Amino acid sequence: MSLEIHHLSKTYGRQQAVDDISFTLREGEIVGFLGPNGAGKSTTMKITTGYIPPTAGKVLVHGMDVVHHRQQVKRVIGYLPEHNPLYTDMYVHEYLHFSGRLYGMKGASLGQRVKNMVELCGLEKEQNKKIESLSKGYRQRVGLAQALLHDPPVLILDEPTTGLDPNQIVEIRNLIKEVSHKKTVIFSSHIMQEVQALCDRVVVIHQGKIVADDQLTRLLQNGQSVQTIQIEWDRPVELNALERLEGVVSVTEVRPGCYTCVSQTGVDIRPALMQFSALQGLALLSLKQEENTLEGVFKQLTNSQS
């Protein structure tokens, strides 16, 4: 196991930021850590990097406890903190050399490594600029280059794409995908598409507790057990008549003639709706099954407990 979190809790004063969470990451796994703002994502990551200690529970990175073997753990982790803090008065290559030397790298091998990272992160043109003059997207690349410099087997990225424009988001996402081979990656986000684009497994956290930890595909399937169908006819019908149909739980009127029906768990209500329109002699204009996206699942998971 590359990263193990056992019954981790953290309290700030009276506030419970993280409440007894446990999960493990296999080597080479890439996991999305999802949750609304203030759910405890950053706190969990800060504990994992050894920046702050847990109140209870423990975190093992490559079998080493982050509290007792803090210095060793820090060597195997590459960390991109939230808001990506950087020494803005340094030049890009100067900053990367500085970071490398902190890990004991030096001389030609450090120079080569910095060169590789600059190429990998697409910073060739920017490497002789000061960090303060870079755009946010390029700063994020510098942050990633810094996290990857010592070739860490574990990568912790705290909201790597917040505040970027759509093009930059895609670029950073591709970059993460490219570097994540053979690395254990955990990255936090509150953007669903990102998780869908990058990883196979998601851990959803809400109010300090884990509400879901599963393969992405399975999470989506589970969410689909309830059907939501929008149907439109050429003229209005009575809501009561629709509600009486077998398997229909609730009906809401979008506008006269257009209704949204929600099914019972595991029941397909489309045949019943077709039959109904035939019996009533209605002309069917459209029938649309609302796709159950991760967004919906996320909403479902995080709303249910609040």
Binding footprint of another protein on the chain (CB under 8 A): 46, 49-53, 71, 74-75, 77, 79, 81, 83, 85-89, 98-99, 101-104, 146
CA distance 103 to 90: 18
The secondary structure element, H or E, covering residue 249 is strand 248-255
Q: Which is nearer to another protein, 94 or 295 (CB)?
A: 94
Q: Which is nearer to another protein, 87 or 291 (CB)?
A: 87
Q: Counting Cβ atoms within 10 Å, is residue 129 exposed (0-12), middle (13-18) or buried (19+)?
A: middle
Residue pair 10/40 in contact by the 8 Å Cβ criterion: yes
Q: Which is nearer to another protein, 92 or 204 (CB)?
A: 92
Q: Which is nearer to another protein, 158 or 195 (CB)?
A: 158
Secondary structure in 3-state letters for 160-225: CCCCCCHHHHHHHHHHHHHHCCCCEEEEEECCHHHHHHHCCEEEEEECCEEEEEEEHHHHHHHHCC
The CB-of-52 to another protein minimum distance in angstroms stands at: 6
In single-letter form, the type of residue at position 139 comes to R
The CB-of-293 to another protein minimum distance in angstroms stands at: 33
Pairing of strands 184-189, 30-34: parallel
The CB-of-83 to another protein minimum distance in angstroms stands at: 6
In single-letter form, the type of residue at position 169 comes to I
For residue 125, the SS3 value is: helix
The CB-of-214 to another protein minimum distance in angstroms stands at: 29
The CB-of-38 to another protein minimum distance in angstroms stands at: 18
The CB-of-67 to another protein minimum distance in angstroms stands at: 9
Q: Which is nearer to another protein, 80 or 176 (CB)?
A: 80
Q: Counting Cβ atoms within 10 Å, is residue 177 exposed (0-12), middle (13-18) or buried (19+)?
A: middle
Q: Which is nearer to another protein, 155 or 242 (CB)?
A: 155
